[in-house]
């Protein structure tokens, strides 16, 4: 299966290039766990500064984690892609100290648009949120020529 290995290597190179400039994900303490063609897994520990007035992880933080995993997945084929829309369902609370993992996978990828699902789970494998992202490929490649 050399083609799959080449595709996964390309995906990892794209993620590394994007990560180098991704100040937002870095600032939130996210870590790339794995990347392959059309898929990405990103984790983040919920910090005290990420908790809302109800003592739970702010939904925007969970959305950001899912959005970052989505970004690495939809750019994994070396075509620059941006979000054209996204939705999220919050299914369970997360608390400070929880380790959240967002697993993004391709549902459909056409020449211009894509659809990706992202499951966000805590360290006990409890589903915290389900995200669906729609991507649009724009001009250019992720990797420098």
Interval 83-98: pLDDT, tens: 999 999 999 999 999 9
Interval 58-89: pLDDT, tens: 999 999 999 999 999 999 999 999 999 999 99
Distance, in Å, from the CA atom of 137 to the CA atom of 105, rounded to the nearest integer, reads 17
Distance, in Å, from the CA atom of 3 to the CA atom of 43, rounded to the nearest integer, reads 28
User: Average model confidence (pLDDT) for the chain?
Assistant: 96
Q: What is the pTM of this model?
A: 0.95
Distance, in Å, from the CA atom of 109 to the CA atom of 97, rounded to the nearest integer, reads 35
Burial class (CB in 10 A: 0-12, 13-18, 19+), 65: buried
DSSP state of 58: -
Q: How confident is the model at residue 144 (pLDDT cuts 50, 70, 90)?
A: confident
CA angle 110, 116, 120 (to 5 degrees): 170
């Amino acid at each position: 299966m050399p083609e799959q290995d080449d595709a996964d290597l390309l995906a990892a190179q794209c993620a590394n290039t994007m990560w180098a400039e991704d100040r937002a994900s870095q600032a939130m303490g996210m870590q790339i766990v794995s990347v392959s063609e059309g898929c990405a897994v990103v984790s983040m520990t919920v910090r005290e500064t990420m908790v809302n007035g109800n003592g739970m992880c702010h939904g925007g933080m969970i959305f950001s984690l899912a959005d970052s995993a989505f970004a690495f997945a939809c750019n994994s084929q070396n075509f620059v892609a941006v979000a054209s829309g996204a939705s999220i369902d919050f299914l369970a609370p997360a608390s400070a100290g929880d380790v959240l993992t967002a697993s993004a996978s391709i549902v459909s990828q056409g020449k211009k648009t894509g659809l990706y699902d992202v499951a966000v789970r805590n360290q006990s494998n409890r589903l915290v949120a389900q995200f669906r992202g729609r991507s649009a490929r724009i001009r250019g490649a992720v990797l420098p020529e």
